[in-house]
A and B are shown apart, each in its own frame.
Chain A
C-alpha cells in the first residue's frame, strides 16, 4: 500500500509556474483539439478500481492527470483564484472520499468534473450573493443577432503575443454571464458532450444548447473587437 506521503511527494514532483503569480488559465496552443476519447486513457478504469480498493498511488495518478484541467475549470467558473484553489482541492478530496459511489456508468473524468462544477458554483454563488442572480436572464431574439461582422483572417491569434492573447481570451470569457460561461467551459473547453454537461449542471439538454449558442455568439462578438481586420493597422 502506498502511503499518503508518497502520493503527495508525487504531487510535488511536477513542474510548477512561478509561485505568487496569478494562474494563467488560458493559453493558445498549436496542438490539435483534444477529443474526449483522447482525454481518457485506456488504463483509467483499472486506476479507478485500484483507487477504490484504497491504492493511493492509483489515485495520485488520477490527480496528476486531471489537476490542471480541474483547476482551469474552477478558475473559469469562479473567476477567483482563492475560490478556484479551494474548489480544486475539495473536488479531489471529495472524489476520493466518495469513490465507492462511482459505479463506472460515466467516465471518471466526467464524474470528477461534476463534483468540481458543484464546488465551483457553490463558491461563485456565495461570492455573488446579493450581487446578481444565477438564474436564466431574460432573453430575446435580438440578443442573438451579431453586431460585429468582420473577417478575422486565417490565423488572428498569431497577431498577438501569447500573454496578450491569453489576456484577451480571459477577459472575454470573464465578461460572460456565469450561466453561459459555465456551459461554454464544459462543452467547448472541457469537451464534455451536451448530455454530460446537462448532467453536470442539473439542467436539460435544450437548456445546454440554448446557453451554448448564446455563449459562443457573445464570445465571438467580443473577440471580433480584437481580431477584426480593421484592428490590424
Chain B
C-alpha cells in the first residue's frame, strides 16, 4: 500500500466497501502516513458537510407556478 493506491481506494474505504485484506492494508498505511490521515479526514468531512445540508422551501413564485401548472394539467385522474 502506498499513498497513490490509498487515494484510489478512499471512496470505497469511507463507504465501507473494502474487503478485509485491503482494509487492513489501508489501516496500516494510515498509522504511519500523516498526509493520508489528513486527506481521509477532510474527505470524510466534505461528505458530512454536504450530506447534512438541508433543502430550503421553494420560493413563493416557484410554488405558485407549480400550483398553477397542477391546476391546469392535473385536474383529471392519471391513467390506471
Q: What is the interface of chain A, defined by CB distance below 8 A to chain B? A: 3-5, 7-8, 11-12, 14-21, 23-34, 51-54, 56, 59, 63, 67-69, 71-72, 85, 88-89, 92-93, 96-100, 141, 144-146, 149-152, 156-157, 169, 173, 184, 188-189, 191, 209, 212-213, 216-217, 219-220, 223-224, 227
Contact = CB atoms under 8 A, between A and B. Distances in A.
B32 interface: no
B70 to A, nearest CB: 5
B80 A54 contact: yes
Q: What is the interface of chain B mostly: helix, strand, loop, or mixed?
A: helix
A4 B70 contact: yes
Contact of B59 (A11, A16, A98, A146): A16
Contact of A219 (B46, B55, B65): B46
15 contacts: A15-B57, A25-B55, A28-B53, A30-B52, A54-B77, A59-B74, A63-B66, A68-B56, A89-B66, A96-B78, A144-B4, A169-B50, A213-B10, A217-B7, A217-B43
Contact of A28 (B35, B41, B49, B61): B49
B28 interface: no
Contacts of B48: 33
Nearest to B64: A12
Interface residues of B, number: 46
Closest 10 pairs between A and B when the two form their complex, measured CB to CB: A54-B77, A68-B55, A72-B55, A19-B60, A8-B67, A4-B75, A213-B11, A16-B60, A26-B53, A220-B46
Given A5-B71, A191-B51, A220-B39, A17 B46 contact: no
B1 interface: no
Contacts of A209: 11-12
A92 B66 contact: yes
